[in-house]
């Protein structure tokens, strides 16, 4: 995710009449860490810098309700140290097998 000044710079260049390709070329020539083309296009299509830059990144947490939440906490508490999400997933698939085909409700 870009920082606010760079987003504002892209929007300002748009209002000055620069095309997307011209902005991409500008960043490719001037910056060691140029934003990707899709990122430039994304912010080019905005009119103003969003107030909360991370708002679109947050998602509803499927496992933030019981019985999954308490079961995950139990797994992590009983296995201190390194515990991989794939291992937690495998244990939960064995425990909650009836949800196996319901990927929208049961996915990590």
Q: What are the tens digits of pLDDT across the range 75-90?
A: 888 888 777 888 888 8
Banded model confidence at residue 21, pLDDT cuts 50, 70, 90: very high
Q: What is the pLDDT of residue 87?
A: 83
Band of residue 62 on the pLDDT scale cut at 50, 70, 90: low
The first and second tokens of residue 6, run together, are 């760079």
In the chain, the N- to C-terminal Cα span, in Å, equals: 23
Report how far residue 96's alpha carbon sits from residue 70's, in angstroms, rounded to the nearest whole number. Answer: 13
């Amino acid at each position: 995710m870009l920082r606010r000044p760079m987003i504002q710079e892209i929007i300002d260049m748009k209002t000055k009449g620069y095309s997307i390709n011209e902005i991409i070329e500008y960043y490719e020539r001037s910056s060691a860490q140029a934003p990707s083309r899709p990122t430039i296009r994304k912010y080019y299509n905005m009119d103003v810098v969003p107030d909360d830059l991370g708002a679109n990144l947050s998602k509803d947490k499927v496992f933030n309700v019981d019985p999954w939440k308490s079961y995950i906490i139990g797994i992590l508490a009983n296995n201190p140290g390194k515990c991989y999400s794939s291992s937690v997933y495998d244990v939960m698939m064995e425990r909650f097998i009836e949800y196996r085909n319901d990927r929208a409700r049961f996915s990590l």
